Structure 1
């Protein structure tokens, strides 16, 4: 009985930590995850190179971070030149696209009789004010979180180096402190977490390939230049849990709307809806096939995790469901 209460207590503490302290421990969790992803490469070079194990890990980390910095430098450089080109062409965009669009909208408003109603005008004014307020609040929150993001990223880098150096000593301490059955359970949880994360990444890769072909066909039908490159970039962004396909397609819809090409904007919006419907339908099915968990329970778990833990719950959901199902299967086998 005491064991059941202890397990319940641990689960409650775990949920409270995820709910209220995830932003604090997230860099360390990411560093632990990153170490176990790198561990096979460290093991491979450790068997073939006569060097200390932590030295191999540090070299691999340095190489990886330099690659990340190189990619970020390319993205920042491209973004800088894109912004400069946009500022340079802003007068032309304003005269040829934005001003005609607003003139057309204002002409429609002047001709519309229903807009002369005071209640409608008051409602539209309130809607506009609220939209501006929420937009400014959202932008302000993003700006406020930028320093926190960089601090967390720096903490992740530092903790990943410390973990590579101290992992073996930490492992020995764990073996000294905890009894064998506790260590066995911890290793079981670790393996299930890594397996679930691997399945999640595999699922995202499959969905990314499917979405890529849908986007490629859609962009080709709409006669976009570099349709293959746009489809590849959009599909990659769609696979990221915190971004999605809307970050590319919705601004394109607005661009063509401003330009007066309404049919193209409509087709792009329909493409956006198709991608979201395909992801919503296929993701639980693919996860079910990999994890052997009913799609209904996976979808339900995903929604519950999304509500309690935010966007990170999308990743936590298959991990938790896999652990629960594995424990129930182990108990079922033990009872038989």
Structure 2
């Protein structure tokens, strides 16, 4: 057997092993998700144990309680915001439909607005239904999360003991890099969510909207999700005020939208530049080029291109 065929055989085996492990990870998603989350949360538990001198088991319980309480609180705020906002939106649409039904652009506007509302309602209902139907899986997730944190004290990468020894070191390297990139995503995303929430809260409060905090929370949450953004809500609202002859509010919302988008883009470029040790202008042009080349998918691909830019920058051929 020649070297080329031997290399091809080894590559095929490695690829097959990777596919098998990916299938297993997806098949036991509650357990694998708990392991990955525990890997990310471990530094907090370790800090409580080593710096604050809290016993490790108690630190696990405290951090776990805080994490799950935070998710429950966010879910409650989301539900309460929807309960407060959706009835008023439906009432305004009804009165708007009666008054402006003869307008030539009315059918298009109503169709788009109804689509947005249906999407929000169906997503919320589906999410609540899935959570209620997955109590058993949620219980498995919590138990697996606890034991994964417990095992992480000995070795943070303990779960690689179930992988082939010949591939273990390589997989550990790529897994560590991937989790580091995911941590960057979460950190930058949280900061951008906070910035958008603060700007929207101030803007909607200044414009004297009802329940400005709830509206700002929903819009900021939508902005943090892929393929959505603040324009999904602010632009239809501006169009609504245009039709109802409230031109001042229409212009104010458009100005608020542009201001938040520009501020957010500059802040995002600065945060990614700080994270990857790149100049802000380089980060901005890489993100802009990604969006121009790949459209909305470029938003998700931008961090990957930033990582590539860092690797290229670190290459010896670019050293001064």
TM (normalized to structure 1)?
0.58
Tell me the equivalent position of 1:161. Answer: 143
* CA distance in 2: counterparts of 1:175 and 1:86, whole angstroms: 55
Q: Per-residue deviation at 1:265?
A: 1.9
Alignment partner of 1:290 out of 260, 264, 275: 275
Tell me the equivalent position of 1:240. Answer: 224
In the TM superposition, 1:211-230 aligns within 5 A as 211=196, 214-215=199-200, 218-219=203-204, 222=207, 229=213
1:200 aligns with 2:194: no
Q: Per-residue deviation at 1:284?
A: 4.1
Q: Is contact 1:45–1:56 with CA below 8 Å preserved after alignment?
A: yes
1:275 aligns with 2:256: no
Alignment partner of 2:11 out of 6, 19, 26: 6
Alpha carbons of structure 1 residues 230 and 271: separation in structure 2 relative to 1, 3 Å: farther
Q: Per-residue deviation at 1:156?
A: 5.8
In the TM superposition, 1:64-213 aligns within 5 A as 64-73=67-76, 75-77=78-80, 79-80=82-83, 82=84, 86=88, 98-99=94-95, 102-104=98-100, 106=102, 142=123, 145-146=126-127, 147-148=129-130, 155=137, 158-166=140-148, 168=151, 171-172=157-158, 174-175=160-161, 177-179=163-165, 182-208=167-193, 211=196
Structure 1 unaligned runs (5+)?
Answer: 110-114, 116-123
Alignment partner of 1:39 out of 32, 35, 42: 42
Bigger Cα displacement from structure 2, 97-106 vs 184-193:
97-106
Q: Per-residue deviation at 1:75?
A: 4.7
* CA distance in 1: counterparts of 2:64 and 2:289, whole angstroms: 38
Q: Is contact 2:188–2:272 with CA below 8 Å preserved after alignment?
A: yes
* CA distance in 2: counterparts of 1:21 and 1:271, whole angstroms: 47
* CA distance in 2: counterparts of 1:305 and 1:148, whole angstroms: 31
Q: Which has the higher contact order (CA 8 A, sep 6+)?
A: 1
Rg larger in structure: 1
CA displacement 1:81-125 (0-9 Å, x = unmatched) = x379759xx8xx57xx8547743552x66xxxxx9xxxxxxxx98
* CA distance in 2: counterparts of 1:49 and 1:214, whole angstroms: 38
Alpha carbons of structure 1 residues 203 and 235: separation in structure 2 relative to 1, 3 Å: farther
Q: Per-residue deviation at 1:39?
A: 0.7
Structure 2 unaligned runs (5+)?
Answer: none
* CA distance in 2: counterparts of 1:321 and 1:158, whole angstroms: 37
TM (normalized to structure 2)?
0.60
